[in-house]
C-alpha cells in the first residue's frame, strides 16, 4: 500500500496535506480498502467549525456508515462536491480526486499531533500483529 | 471470561483457511466468522447477476426428519404444503409459534417417502431444534446434522455450466426446487436448484469430510467461466434486491407471515398447522403492520432500525437497507402501519435525525433477466 510522505496521518486513518494556508483532507488507502465500495458521502458545510479528532463527515460503504474525523481544528473552506455524484472516487484515488474537504486551521501547531507516513505505517503494522 | 474464551465461541467455516488465503475480509454473522467480501461487494454482486459466483453457506443448519409420520408432522409444523411434496422436491416455508410469529423460515426437502431434510438459518439452529424436538411425536426422529454438514452455493446465470462439469448433465438439468443425490469422492452429495440471490442457481449439501475436494472441484470447474468467490456482503445485497427476507431482521417471532408478505407460503386449506388459528383471525381482521419495499428519493442510505415517518408522524421501522448495485439506487424494506403501505406513497426515513424522502415501490426491486 502507498502512504505518500508529503502527507500527515491520524490514528483514525485520515490524511492532511498542507496547501498554502489550508489543509486538504482525505482518507488513506488502508481506510478505503477497509471500507470497500463507498456509496455515499455526507460532507461538512462550508464555513462549519471543526475540531481536531471530532467527527465532521460521514461515509457509507455498501455495508455500514463510518465517521470521518477532522485532523485539525479550524473552518471548512472547501468541499469536494464531486464525491456526491461519484463517491467511488474515494476508492479509486484516495490521495487525489477522492479528497474530502479543506480546512483553514485555527492553530497550525496541531499538525504536530499527526503522524508522518513512517509512523502511520508502523501503527498499521502493529495493529496487524 | 478471557479473550480466548470469547474467540472459541465464534465458529469458523471448515474451509476458513482457503478464504483467508484468497484475501477475504471477515465479519461475524449469526455466531460465525464468515467472509464479507473477497474483492468488493459490488464486483461480487455483479458477478452473480451476470455470470456465476461461489458461496460457502456451511453456517446454515441442517436437520434430518425421519419416520412413518414424518410428513404428517412437518405438514403440521410449517405453513406450506409439505403433504404435496414428492420425492426429490422441496418447499420453502415459515415455521410459526402459536401466536403465528415466525420462529424461522426454512426449506423442507423430501429425500424419500419417510425421510426429509430441513435447512434452517444458522442463528436459529438451537431454537429450531428444541422446538421441533418438543413438537415431534414418538416415532419421528429429528436429528441435528449441522456440525458435520456443509453447503456450497453456485449462483448466477452460468451456474448450470459449473454444475454440469462437476456432477453431469442430469444434475445440471434439474428444475427449480428439485434435488438430485449424486456420488462424489465415494460419498453422496445432494444437488439442489435453490438459492438466495434472485438468480438461477444451485446449492450442494455434503459431508464436511469432503469439503476440500468438493470446493476445489467447483473452483476448477468455474475457472474458465471466471466464477468468483462471493462474500456475505453481496449475499445480502442480492437477496434484498430480490426481496428475499432475512430472518431476525425482516421477520422474527413477533411478526406474522401475513404482515411480511409471505401469504403465498400459507396453506389455509390445511386442517391445522401451528399458528393457524391466529392467522385465520388475522386474515379476517386484516393486518395492522405491513412490510413494504421503498427506494430513497433523497440521497441518504436507510439502515436497519431507522425510524419511518409519514408527515412527521412515526409509522414504523426499517428492517433492511442498502445500496442496490443492480439498480444503482438506495433501497430498503420497512415494517410500517398498513394504512400507509400503498405503492407510490411518500414516506420519510429518519437518517441521523434528519427526515429524508423515500417512496414505497413495487417489489421485488429486481427480477431475473431485468
Q: What pLDDT is attached to residue A64? A: 85
Measuring CA to CA, which residue among B164, B242, B153, B234 is closest to residue B201? B153
Q: What pLDDT is attached to residue B16? A: 98
Widest CA span in chain A: 41
Q: How many whole angstroms separate alpha carbon A52 and alpha carbon A55?
A: 9
* H or E stretch covering B153: strand B149-155
**Comparing B331 with B370, which gets the higher pLDDT?**
B331
Total tally of structural domains belonging to chain A? 1
Q: How many whole angstroms separate alpha carbon B258 and alpha carbon A20?
A: 63
CA distances from B240 to B155, B189, B332 (A): 15, 29, 8
Read off the CATH number of the domain in which A28 is found.
Answer: 2.40.50.100
| Subunit contact A37:B300, Cβ cutoff 8 A | no
Q: Is the dihedral of CA A66, A71, A76, A77 positive or negative?
A: negative
**pLDDT of A129 above 90:** no
Using pLDDT thresholds of 50, 70 and 90, give the confidence band for residue B5.
Answer: very low
| Subunit contact A63:B330, Cβ cutoff 8 A | no
CA nearest A91 in B: which residue? B40
Q: How many whole angstroms separate alpha carbon B257 and alpha carbon B94?
A: 7
Q: Is B354 on the interface with A (CB under 8 A)?
A: no
Map grid coordinates 488513506 to a residue.
A28
**Interface residue of A63, A67, A84 to substitute, partner B, most B CBs within 10 Å:** A63
What number is the average pLDDT over the span B10-15? 96
Helix B70-77 × helix B125-135 angle, to 10°? 120
Q: Where are the alpha helices (DSSP H) in chain A?
A: 29-35, 82-85, 89-92, 117-128
Q: What percent of chain B has pLDDT over 90?
A: 97
- What pLDDT, in 10s, does the model give residues B268-299? 999 999 999 999 999 999 999 999 999 999 99
The answer to whether B317 touches B308, Cβ cutoff 8 Å, is yes
Q: Which domain holds residue A111?
A: 8-128
| Subunit contact B25:A36, Cβ cutoff 8 A | yes
Map grid coordinates 453457506 to a residue.
B57
**Interface residue of B40, B232, B304 to substitute, partner A, most A CBs within 10 Å:** B40
| Subunit contact A63:B25, Cβ cutoff 8 A | no
Q: Is A36 on the interface with B (CB under 8 A)?
A: yes
CA-CA-CA-CA dihedral for A116, A122, A127, A128, to nearest 10: 130
| Subunit contact A37:B40, Cβ cutoff 8 A | yes
| Subunit contact B322:A60, Cβ cutoff 8 A | no
Is there a domain that residue A3 lies in? no
Q: How many whole angstroms separate alpha carbon B79 and alpha carbon B92?
A: 9
| Subunit contact A36:B37, Cβ cutoff 8 A | yes
Q: Is B300 on the interface with A (CB under 8 A)?
A: yes
CA distances from B366 to A34, A64, A75, B49, B329 (A): 28, 22, 44, 10, 11
The answer to whether A47 touches A76, Cβ cutoff 8 Å, is yes
E strands along B297-337, which residues?
307-310, 313-324, 329-337
Is there a domain that residue A99 lies in? yes
Q: Which residues, in sequence order, are bridge partners of residue B151?
A: B205
Is there a domain that residue A34 lies in? yes
- What pLDDT, in 10s, does the model give residues B97-127? 999 999 999 999 999 999 999 999 999 999 9
Measuring CA to CA, which residue among B162, B163, B150, B153 is closest to residue B227? B162
Q: Is B296 on the interface with A (CB under 8 A)?
A: no
Map grid coordinates 484468497 to a residue.
B22
Is there a domain that residue A86 lies in? yes
- Contact residues for B245 (Cβ-Cβ < 8 A; gap 6+): B105, B251, B260, B262, B291, B333
The answer to whether A22 touches A78, Cβ cutoff 8 Å, is yes
Residue B156 backbone dihedrals phi, psi, to 5 degrees: 130, 165
**pLDDT of B8 above 80:** no
Using pLDDT thresholds of 50, 70 and 90, give the confidence band for residue B346.
Answer: very high
Q: Is B181 helix (H, G, I), strand (E, B) or coil?
A: strand
Q: Write out chain A residues lying below 8 Å of B322, CB-based.
A: 62-63
* H or E stretch covering B131: helix B125-135
The DSSP letter of residue B60 is S
Q: What pLDDT is attached to residue B2? A: 40
What number is the average pLDDT over the span A78-91? 96
Is there a domain that residue A1 lies in? no
Q: How many whole angstroms separate alpha carbon B155 and alpha carbon B234?
A: 12
Q: How many whole angstroms separate alpha carbon B175 and alpha carbon B192?
A: 9
Q: Is B17 helix (H, G, I), strand (E, B) or coil?
A: helix
Map grid coordinates 441518504 to a residue.
B300
Is there a domain that residue A84 lies in? yes
Q: Is B323 on the interface with A (CB under 8 A)?
A: yes
- What pLDDT, in 10s, does the model give residues B156-167? 999 999 999 999
- Contact residues for A75 (Cβ-Cβ < 8 A; gap 6+): A47, A48, A49, A50, A103, A104, A106
Round the average pLDDT of chain B to a whole number and report it. Answer: 96
Is there a domain that residue A2 lies in? no
**pLDDT of B4 above 70:** no
Q: Write out chain A residues lying below 8 Å of B300, CB-based.
A: 40, 42
What number is the average pLDDT over the span B244-248? 98
Is there a domain that residue A78 lies in? yes
The answer to whether B59 touches B15, Cβ cutoff 8 Å, is no
Looking at CA atoms only, how far is residue A1 from chain B in angstroms? 15
Amino acid at each position: 500500500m502507498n502512504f505518500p510522505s508529503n502527507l500527515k496521518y491520524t490514528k483514525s486513518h485520515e490524511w492532511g496535506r498542507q496547501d498554502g494556508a489550508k489543509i486538504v483532507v482525505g482518507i488513506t488507502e488502508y481506510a478505503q480498502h477497509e471500507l470497500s465500495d463507498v456509496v455515499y458521502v455526507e460532507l461538512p458545510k462550508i464555513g462549519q467549525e471543526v475540531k481536531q479528532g471530532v467527527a465532521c463527515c460521514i461515509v457509507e460503504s455498501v455495508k455500514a456508515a463510518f465517521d470521518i474525523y477532522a485532523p485539525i481544528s479550524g473552518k471548512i473552506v472547501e468541499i469536494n462536491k464531486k464525491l456526491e455524484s461519484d463517491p467511488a472516487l474515494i476508492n479509486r484515488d484516495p490521495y487525489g480526486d477522492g479528497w474530502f474537504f479543506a480546512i483553514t486551521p485555527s492553530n497550525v501547531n496541531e499538525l504536530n499531533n499527526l503522524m508522518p507516513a513512517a509512523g502511520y505505517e508502523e501503527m498499521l503494522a502493529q495493529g496487524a500483529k | 471470561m478471557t479473550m480466548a474464551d470469547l474467540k472459541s465461541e465464534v465458529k469458523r467455516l471448515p474451509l476458513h483457511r482457503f478464504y483467508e488465503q484468497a484475501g477475504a475480509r471477515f465479519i461475524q454473522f449469526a455466531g460465525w466468522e464468515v467472509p464479507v467480501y473477497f474483492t468488493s461487494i459490488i464486483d461480487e454482486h455483479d458477478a452473480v447477476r451476470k455470470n456465476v459466483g461461489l458461496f460457502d453457506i456451511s453456517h446454515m443448519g441442517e436437520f434430518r426428519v425421519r419416520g412413518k409420520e414424518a410428513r404428517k408432522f412437518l405438514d403440521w409444523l410449517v405453513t406450506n404444503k409439505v403433504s404435496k411434496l414428492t420425492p426429490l422436491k422441496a418447499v420453502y416455508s415459515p415455521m410459526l409459534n402459536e401466536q403465528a410469529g415466525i420462529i424461522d423460515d426454512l426449506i423442507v426437502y423430501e429425500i424419500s417417502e419417510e425421510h426429509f431434510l430441513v435447512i434452517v438459518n444458522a442463528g436459529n439452529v438451537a431454537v429450531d431444534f428444541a422446538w421441533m424436538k418438543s413438537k415431534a411425536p414418538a416415532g419421528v426422529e429429528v436429528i441435528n446434522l449441522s456440525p458435520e454438514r456443509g453447503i456450497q452455493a453456485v449462483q448466477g446465470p452460468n451456474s448450470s455450466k459449473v454444475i454440469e462439469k462437476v456432477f453431469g448433465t442430469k444434475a445440471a438439468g434439474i428444475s427449480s426446487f428439485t434435488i438430485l443425490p449424486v456420488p462424489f469422492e465415494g460419498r453422496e452429495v445432494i444437488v439442489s436448484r435453490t438459492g438466495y440471490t434472485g438468480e438461477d442457481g444451485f446449492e450442494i449439501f455434503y459431508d464436511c469430510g469432503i469439503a476440500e475436494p468438493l470446493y476445489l472441484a467447483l473452483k476448477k470447474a468455474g475457472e474458465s467461466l471466471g466464477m468468483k468467490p462471493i462474500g456475505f456482503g453481496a449475499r445480502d445485497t442480492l437477496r434484498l434486491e430480490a426481496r428475499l427476507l432475512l430472518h431476525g431482521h425482516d421477520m422474527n417471532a413477533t411478526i406474522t407471515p401475513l404482515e411480511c408478505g409471505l401469504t403465498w407460503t400459507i396453506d389455509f386449506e390445511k386442517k391445522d398447522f401451528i399458528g393457524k388459528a391466529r392467522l385465520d383471525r388475522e386474515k379476517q381482521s386484516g393486518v395492522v403492520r405491513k412490510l413494504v419495499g421503498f427506494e430513497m428519493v433523497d440521497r441518504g442510505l436507510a439502515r436497519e432500525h431507522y425510524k419511518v415517518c409519514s408527515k412527521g408522524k412515526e409509522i414504523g421501522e426499517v428492517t433492511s437497507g442498502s445500496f442496490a448495485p443492480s439498480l444503482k439506487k438506495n433501497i430498503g424494506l420497512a415494517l410500517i402501519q398498513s394504512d400507509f403501505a400503498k405503492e407510490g406513497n411518500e414516506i420519510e426515513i429518519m437518517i441521523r435525525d434528519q427526515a429524508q424522502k423515500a417512496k414505497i415501490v413495487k417489489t421485488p426491486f429486481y427480477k431475473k433477466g431485468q
